[in-house]
Amino acid sequence: VTLCNGQIPKFDSSFGTNGFVQTDISKYNDAAQVIALQPDGKILLGGHISHESGSFGMAIARYNANGTLDKSFSIDGIDTFIIGDVNSFNTLDMIVSIQVQTDGKIVAAARTNDYDASFQVISKVVLVRYNADGTRDNSFGNNGLVFGDVKNSEPSTIVLQPDGKIVLAGTRTVKQTAQPQMYIQMIISRFNTDGSVDDSFGTQGTVVINPGSDKLISFRPTTLIIQPDGKILSYAIYWDAGKQIGKTGIIRCNANGSLDNTFGNKGFNISSYYTSGSCHAMSLQEDGKIVVVGYTNSPPEYINKLVLARYKSDGSADPAFGTNGITYFHFDTTAVLKGTVNGGVLALQKDGKIIVRGAGYSDSLSKSLLFRYNTDGSLDSTFGVNGVTFYNYKLGESNVIPAGDMILQPDGKLLTGASIFGQSSSYFSMARLIMSLNTGVIDAEPGTSNLLFYPNPVSNISTLQYELLNTETVNIIIYDMTGKIINVPVKNESRQLGKNIETIDFSSLSAGSYILTIQTGKGNTNIKIIK
């Protein structure tokens, strides 16, 4: 028997409630933007909560590996606070990035609001450091808080260097003297381990990233990576307000903040494709190659296409990946799965394959998309339907759409933030999916070939496809692991020579492991299945 894998991810029933966790913190609208995984397997969620006035406050929660709240963290697993005026709808405090130090302390980057001399609302960067138990670390800044020195700035992401220094990427908004409009500049700042500004980096701890003197060009960073050699990679949305053109850009700086002129064009690599999107991510392979994901809607089609690209360590396109270093995906009218598509976040498997999560729709419903690519940029045909799968999660009458951050755990399971649609309020939410789904054939006898069973782990309805070498009387029996017969979907029925397809209902089965047996006159074929 040849088993053809077309595995579809399944929500992990050992996590939360059927693979999904939601926490109602404020009784209003809460949202988790970022996920961090501790070395002990505990999970941190960061974002914001809402108050009755409409103001936002910062929030961080810690969960055990099974999705339950870790009551040893802060107060019953949750810490919330607000810096601005809780009664002002202009207060928009929120955590946007989390990193875990080697000593177990937790660093979060957040934005808060302030007022300038003319009482205009301006944004500010704030770093927060927590002890491992969720209390604020008083050895960091002022009572665990550090405010950035750059005026009217917002954080996008932070990373930790091996020496413990904190590197932050974000933006600042600057008013032009000759014109009334504002323009946006990308900034990278570095802080010492105690929260003080690192004066050895840039100018007073900050560098301003701009590819030229044109103030109509701006970058908005989405991802920041510290290379093993200490150089700093950032991935950003590039916008030319004069030409009304959006692209993406990779920027590399030396460890002191200066642009690395050995990378791309004087430290910059601006994409050849256009985009108007903001969901983009970057990962660094062990060999130093750079993988980025986003989406494009370039002319003449003006349809959203997922774009995945790989670059060599010097910023040049990798010709061994896709076509000239780039691969595009969109659904055509003949596709099994249909809908629009855009790319968001990615993760690298240990075998080098690339997991991409995007968004799309099918049957007029918003759903999440998962793609898996081989190391050469081709879609992995052993995953989903030709490398792609739609999925969503139902919570009552509401749709749960994976959104925000995504982390591939060391055991291969996928953690993803989630958004809930169809409820009166939103919550801190996340989901976990099983990705390593190779269960396969236990044993096989002559009589069947080209066996395909999917998905496995099973959903409520799964499909069994097999070929018979002769016309046979067939039984299909499902056993539990003690050998007890649980169900007989096909009993003493004739099946013809060649391909046969059975649709099997597993909705009545409890979660667990089972054996599916195909009986013919030539013998038995057994498959281990999981629900």
Per-residue pLDDT reduced to its tens digit, 36-74: 999 999 999 999 998 888 888 999 999 999 999 999 999
Q: Which of 9, 30, 106 is nearest to 429 (CA)?
A: 30
Q: What is the mean pLDDT of residues 472-482?
A: 85
User: 53 or 400: whose pLDDT is higher?
Assistant: 53
Which two structure tokens, joined as six digits, stand for 22? 């939601």
Centre a 10 Å sphere on the Cβ of residue 186 and count the other Cβ atoms it contains.
Answer: 24
- Rounded CA gap, 372 and 404, in Å? 18
- Rounded CA gap, 430 and 393, in Å? 11
Please state, in angstroms and as integers, the Cα–Cα distance from residue 406 to each residue in 35, 101, 148, 320, following that order. Answer: 7, 19, 27, 27
- For β-strands 94-100 and 106-115, DSSP reports them as antiparallel
- Rounded CA gap, 323 and 345, in Å? 21
Share of residues in the chain with pLDDT > 70 (%): 81
For the stretch 313-340, what's the b/e string if a residue is b when 16 or more beta carbons lie within 10 angstroms of its beta carbon? bebebbeebbeebbbebbbeeeeebebb
End-to-end Cα distance, the chain: 23
Which two structure tokens, joined as six digits, stand for 187? 């900034």
Cis amide bond preceding 457, omega within 30: yes
pLDDT tens for each residue of 202-244: 999 999 997 666 666 778 899 999 999 999 999 998 887 777 7
Please state, in angstroms and as integers, the Cα–Cα distance from residue 227 to each residue in 175, 236, 258, 318, following that order. Answer: 34, 17, 15, 18
Q: Which of 307, 357, 354, 304 is nearest to 331 (CA)?
A: 304
489 has a pLDDT exceeding 80: yes
123 has a pLDDT exceeding 80: yes
CATH T-level fold of 441-530: Immunoglobulin-like (2.60.40)
Q: What is the mean pLDDT of residues 94-118?
A: 89
Per-residue DSSP letter, 92? B
Whole-prediction pTM? 0.79
Q: What is the mean pLDDT of residues 101-113?
A: 95
Q: Which of 78-82, 91-95, 161-165, 331-335 bottoms out in mean pLDDT, i.e. has the lowest? A: 331-335
Q: Which of 402, 355, 400 is nearest to 374 (CA)?
A: 355
pLDDT, residue 2, reads 29
For the stretch 224-258, what's the b/e string if a residue is b when 16 or more beta carbons lie within 10 angstroms of its beta carbon? bbbeeeebbbbbbbbbeeeeeebbbbbbbbbbebe
Do residues 63 and 50 lie in contact, with contact meaning Cβ atoms separated by under 8 Å? no
